[in-house]
């Protein structure tokens, strides 16, 4: 059973990054996962957080995405987390590099042993292929198709015009419809800062103009941090708009409710990070903005914009303006059909540009 993006509402899904462990250490990995990492989400913590997620707004959150690292690295842990998710009434999805799908039989047996999985996203690209043969990807997707599990693929690239990347896409499109392939540009963060030659990034002076869908769903990390982006930018400073909060300090419902009034986050969702750059320039607060950006690099733009203390202070200033907050609230309603921000403004709440950290 194939599936394409369904445009689920804000906060209706949540990610759990359950481990930093991975059998491979890809040079473009933003979280720097690998076999030497030891961080894992404790089952007791995960169970409590899932229960909070399931109870949020009387069942508003419908699905949970287990990611990492590599969720299949610790099979027993994954089994426990999947069982917990189902017991909470959440629909489980898993992101994997398919290292476990060494043969068609093994791929099918693995998925049959984890019947709770309803959606499988296979991360694959030229960098994964150095350690995980493409045949494993074929095996995993074929097993999911045969068992009626929804599936798609996530692919990272440096240069979309590079012949090797085009050849890889052709192979992938031989087993997957194009609409089931989600692509994203690699940008200089995480392990890529050291492992990829800076000259290989394709750069442009024009920031992306389209909205960022990566900010629709938050991700919970093993230490309890809640990050408002499935792109998983892990090294965010306190007060950063994408650092929504910490579950060791506040319950999940308070963190997510605060996210509804996070103006900077919703500007990215409605218009994209490029709008934030325009706002800073118009306010005369754009000193320190990058001169160029990774082409198609939504994450690169956001990372560069929000990792600078001066730019972040300017961003909080312009997005905290009451007029901007109201404009964003109505833009969410007009473009996305979301009323939560308007309702909170009418109830007397005010928005700001920062997270709940």
Based on C-alpha coordinates, what's the Rg of the chain? 20
User: What is the pLDDT, as a whole number, of residue 351?
Assistant: 64
Q: Are 287 and 310 in contact (CB under 8 A)?
A: yes
Q: Are 175 and 138 in contact (CB under 8 A)?
A: yes
User: What is the pLDDT, as a whole number, of residue 291?
Assistant: 82
User: What is the pLDDT, as a whole number, of residue 1?
Assistant: 47
What is the tens place of the pLDDT at every residue in 52-74? 999 999 999 999 999 999 999 99
Task: Using alpha carbons only, give the angle 97, 101, 103 rounded to the nearest 5 degrees.
Answer: 150
CA atoms of 268 and 342, how far apart (whole Å): 17
3-state secondary structure of 245: strand
CB atoms within 10 A of CB 74: 17
- pTM tops 0.85, yes or no: yes
CB atoms within 10 A of CB 173: 13
Q: Which domains does the chain have, with CATH numbers?
A: 13-201 (3.20.20.70), 257-346 (no CATH)
User: What is the pLDDT, as a whole number, of residue 15?
Assistant: 96
pLDDT along the chain (357 residues), means of 10: 55 96 94 94 97 97 96 96 98 98 98 98 96 98 98 95 96 96 88 90 84 89 89 69 93 97 94 89 86 79 72 89 96 94 87 52
What is the tens place of the pLDDT at every residue in 87-138? 999 999 999 999 999 999 999 999 999 999 999 999 999 999 999 999 999 9
């Amino acid at each position: 059973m194939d599936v394409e993006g369904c445009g689920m509402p804000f906060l209706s899904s949540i990610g759990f990054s359950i481990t930093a462990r991975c059998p491979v250490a890809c040079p473009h990995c933003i979280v720097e996962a690998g076999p030497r990492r030891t961080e894992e989400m404790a089952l007791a913590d995960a169970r409590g957080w899932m229960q909070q997620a399931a109870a949020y707004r009387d069942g508003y959150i419908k699905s949970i995405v287990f990611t990492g690292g590599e969720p299949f690295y610790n099979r027993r842990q994954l089994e426990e987390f999947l069982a917990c998710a189902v017991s909470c009434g959440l629909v489980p999805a898993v992101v994997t590099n398919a290292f476990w799908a060494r043969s068609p039989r093994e791929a099918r047996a693995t998925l049959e042993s984890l019947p709770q999985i309803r959606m499988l996203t296979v991360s694959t690209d030229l960098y994964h292929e150095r350690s995980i043969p493409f045949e494993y990807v074929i095996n995993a997707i074929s097993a999911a198709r045969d068992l009626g599990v929804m599936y798609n693929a996530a692919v990272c690239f440096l240069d979309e015009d590079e012949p090797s990347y085009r050849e890889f896409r052709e192979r992938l499109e031989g087993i997957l419809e194009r609409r089931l392939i989600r692509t994203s540009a690699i940008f200089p963060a995480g392990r890529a800062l050291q492992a990829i030659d800076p000259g290989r990034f394709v750069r442009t002076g024009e920031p992306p103009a389209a909205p960022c869908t990566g900010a629709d769903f938050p991700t919970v990390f093993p230490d309890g941090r809640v990050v408002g982006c499935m792109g998983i930018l892990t090294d965010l400073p306190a007060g950063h708009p994408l650092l929504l909060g910490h579950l060791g300090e506040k319950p999940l419902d308070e963190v997510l409710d605060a996210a509804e009034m996070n103006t900077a986050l919703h500007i990215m969702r409605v218009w994209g990070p490029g709008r934030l750059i325009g706002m800073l320039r118009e306010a005369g607060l754009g000193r320190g903005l990058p001169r160029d950006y990774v082409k198609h690099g939504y994450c690169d733009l956001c990372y560069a914009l929000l990792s600078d203390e001066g730019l972040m202070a300017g961003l909080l200033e312009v997005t905290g303006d009451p007029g901007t907050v109201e404009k964003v609230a109505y833009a969410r309603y007009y473009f996305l059909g979301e009323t939560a921000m308007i309702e909170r403004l009418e109830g007397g709440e005010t928005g700001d540009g920062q997270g709940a950290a």
